[in-house]
Structure 1
Amino acid sequence: MTSALIARRLDIASAEVAEVLDALDEEYRTRYREFYKDDIGAYPVSDFLAPDGAFIGILDGDLLVAAGAIRRYNATTAEVKRMWTRDSHRRRGLAQQVLRELDNAAAELGYTRIFLTTGSRQPEAVALYRASGFEGGERRIPEFDLPVFAFEKPVTSTPRNAPANA
């Protein structure tokens, strides 16, 4: 019997999320080797808590299988961080589902735009963001030694707590 996949907001400081962040950090270390920068430790946990942020997880039963977070980039823009999908659940559209949930969270938090960056050694992430309506491309950002892809798009969700025609 298979479990239904459920998306929900999670506490980024919880043990279940810590496992995900460790796996994501290991993936960054493997992909970027000599260029690795500690992205996980670079931002305080508080950045991903309301009222400025949110952490979304997709659960298959009790197993966290995909996740992503937003944090304040500026007054009108949320930044996507912590995108991850468990190896056994990749290529099932879960990352797109996480992005939709993050769009909803951004709308609820009052953001009008979403921004993100991804490294040049993550071509599947570049493809995902382009397929999900993000626009942008390769940029040189001084704090990185490799090219970085920067993308943004408008928030497309209507806040769930707002009237549909607001």
Structure 2
Amino acid sequence: MNNRLETFVKENRKSFDVLEPSAGLWAKIEQELDSKKKKKPVNLYLWISAAASIVIVLGLTWLYVGSMRNRDIEIADVNAAIAKKEIHFAGLITEKRDSLAIFASANPDLYKKFTSDLKKLDEDYERLKAELPTTPNQLYVVKAMVKNRELQLQLLKQQLMIINQVDDYKRVNQI
């Protein structure tokens, strides 16, 4: 069978040679081969998963480091007994502030003065609270925070006493 094919090709060689492909066809084939060489299949899924993994690892690292750096230390973490005192004082302070706010409408100027004094003490308390995680002597700062709450409570008691005296004076002088 192989011989029959060879003999057929030899006998009809001239008719095969007449039909040659055009020169432009070879240029197109070369161009397609070059473009196929340049295009490498990109595994998009692989790149997206690698980028997502990096983002997740960086995010978790940032959260862990941030939580360790900005760890809020509560008073109870330093001393439980002092924390109970602070909670007690905070409750009383809230109660006294509410009482003071009731008298605000009757004496707005006096109320503004009182609240400005309390605001200064609150700012000091917040500064101490911010200092607590970084200070080497946390017990000292916690004691200062409780002392600040005590001062706030004493100030509120004095302010309420002054307001009561002013109200008594107004009642006596009206008659």
Q: TM-score, normalised by structure 2?
A: 0.24
Which is helix-richer, 1 or 2?
A: 2
Which is strand-richer, 1 or 2?
A: 1
Which protein shows a greater Rg?
2
The structure, 1 or 2, with the larger RCO (C-alpha pairs under 8 Å, 6+ apart) is 2
Q: TM-score, normalised by structure 1?
A: 0.24
